[in-house]
Amino acid sequence: MSEPTPKTMGQQFGRRSWAEPWKIKMVEPLAVTTREQREKALQEAGYNTFLLKSEDVYIDLLTDSGTSAMSDRQWAGLMLGDEAYAGSRNFYRLEAAIQKVYGYKYIVPTHQGRGAEHLISQAVIKKGQIVPGNMYFTTTRLHQELAGGIFQDVIIDEAHDPANLHPFKGNVDLDKVQAIIDKHGAENIAYISVAGTVNMAGGQPISMANIKALRALCDRYGVKIYLDATRMMENAFFIQQREEGYAEKSIAEIVREFCSYTDAAWMSAKKDNLVNIGGWLAVNDWELFEELRNLVVVYEGLHTYGGLAGRDMEAMAIGIEESVDDQHIRSRVGQVLYLGELLLHWGIPIVQPIGGHAIFLDAKAFYPHLKQVEFPAQTLAAELYLDSGIRSMERGIVSAGRDPKTGDHYYPKLELTRLTIPRRVYTQAHMDVVAEAVKAVYDARESTRGLKMVYEPKYLRFFQARFERL
């Protein structure tokens, strides 16, 4: 294939300067703190960035979920909320936007992504069925398991290697799918769970060729393909940049084509769709739609609002139209690439290729002198906050938790600190500040000491654990 390598991708941004395709109409002042203040705030937060108060944070890269900036059109749309209990006009606007952009027939709104995952898992999965997927996502897999499904990872092996430069590390390994069909029979597969840009693999895309081939394989056995469309726009951008035959196609065309190879989708609109809350389900099968419409009234709300206010659906409809704009997505992913390439230029170890929504710092390579039980990624997140008030997230041994059988920590291969970029919130100047902060922390790496855990909650400990300096 004649795809540019990920390394050269960002150069198109380097040849001539580029800028964010929006200007700022309203500002939210940021807290600029002193090192002394940050030292105090971090101690009070037990060296855990989840426990920091937002007002003590300067640049907040904890997550891109629900943190997007809405446009003036979206804010204006809030005023058009039709808060009727049934048949709100904003629902029909949302339905039309999803049909147009993603191409599915029937739409069910939900309060956020996991609401949609809950409904579709309950509607489709029979106890004991296998759900093959291109790597798991936390809430997705949990809902599949709660419905009695058994998740099996079918992503290509390259996805598990942070240094592998494969341009489509989100691809499904068709041999792994075939093996599951051969072993268990197609009737024991609930559906194939495909995610556009795989979050847990570092925001890595799946190619059009791969989804087409998967469609052909599944058609032979009558197996359905359902899409986690949460970051599908970012995936479409990577197809446009890297896959032969797509350079001249618009993001809108690529998204429509990709979705046409799938049977249904669920969505966390808090990501790609540029709203602070919302989600949806979209299917082509009438009977499945009827079942989902039955379930939504039990768990979310009436099928024309699904747990959302009318105004939220209006903002989402507008956000969907904006999210598919080529200039928007080029700038969104371009900002991530810009930051990543600055760091690479300085020799700072990050997961490659650079993904669509975040930079993952390799904390093991940062702090080779720290043992994994001294929490290198947690330490790195703490040091970054101390240096500049930048908030990041640990994705390493703390997030991995403990083995319930032995009581020992899980020791994940990847010990990462994630810098997640919210959409349309920060400028390139903020990216420069972030890169310089990471470099400062990197330069001081040899004298950095690790942490010890002094409080550990029983479940999902990374949210509330507390630490002290060693």
Ligand X SMILES: *Cc1c(COP(=O)(O)O)cnc(C)c1O
**Where along the sequence are the contacts to ligand X (CB under 6 A)?**
65, 112-114, 137, 139-140, 195, 199, 228, 230, 268, 270-271, 279
Question: Which residues are registered as beta bridge partners of 451?
Answer: 469
The verdict on whether 271 is a catalytic residue reads yes
- Residue that is written with structure tokens 């995952």 in the block: 117
User: Please, which residue, 279 or 356, has the CB nearer to ligand X?
Assistant: 279
Collapse the DSSP code of 151 into the 3-class scheme (helix H, G, I; strand E, B; otherwise coil) and give the result.
Answer: strand
User: Please, which residue, 114 or 424, has the CB nearer to ligand X?
Assistant: 114
Question: Residue 29 CB, nearest distance to ligand X (Å)?
Answer: 28
Q: Which of 40, 72, 85, 371 is catalytic?
A: 85
Q: What is the DSSP string of 292-312?
A: HHHHHHHHT--TTTTT--HHH
Question: Residue 431 CB, nearest distance to ligand X (Å)?
Answer: 22
User: Please, which residue, 112 or 304, has the CB nearer to ligand X?
Assistant: 112
Question: Residue 137 CB, nearest distance to ligand X (Å)?
Answer: 4
Contact 125, 190 (CB under 8 A): yes
User: Please, which residue, 162 or 279, has the CB nearer to ligand X?
Assistant: 279
Please say whether the dihedral angle defined by the alpha carbons of residues 307, 312, 318 and 323, taken in this order, is positive or negative.
negative
User: Please, which residue, 354 or 438, has the CB nearer to ligand X?
Assistant: 354
User: Please, which residue, 195 or 281, has the CB nearer to ligand X?
Assistant: 195
Q: How many CB atoms lie within 10 A of CB 448?
A: 18
Q: Which of 141, 311, 391, 395 is catalytic?
A: 395
Question: Which residues are registered as beta bridge partners of 394?
Answer: 417
The verdict on whether 462 is a catalytic residue reads yes
The verdict on whether 85 is a catalytic residue reads yes
The verdict on whether 237 is a catalytic residue reads no
Q: Crossing angle for the helix pair 89-102 and 251-260, nearest 10 degrees?
A: 90
Q: Following CA atoms 84, 86, 87, 88 in sequence, which dihedral angle do they give, to the nearest 10 degrees? A: 30
Q: How many CB atoms lie within 10 A of CB 396?
A: 26
Q: Which of 271, 332, 418, 445 is catalytic?
A: 271
Q: Could you give the CA distance from residue 397 to residue 409 in angstroms, rounded to a whole number?
A: 7
Question: Which residues are registered as beta bridge partners of 151?
Answer: 131
Question: Residue 192 CB, nearest distance to ligand X (Å)?
Answer: 15
Q: Which of 138, 449, 452, 469 is catalytic?
A: 138
The verdict on whether 360 is a catalytic residue reads no
Collapse the DSSP code of 409 into the 3-class scheme (helix H, G, I; strand E, B; otherwise coil) and give the result.
Answer: strand
CA distances from 52 to 118, 183, 467 (A): 30, 48, 13
Question: Residue 427 CB, nearest distance to ligand X (Å)?
Answer: 24
Q: Which of 56, 228, 272, 312 is catalytic?
A: 228
The verdict on whether 395 is a catalytic residue reads yes
Question: Residue 194 CB, nearest distance to ligand X (Å)?
Answer: 11
Instruction: Tell me the catalytic residues.
Output: 85, 137-138, 228, 271, 395, 462
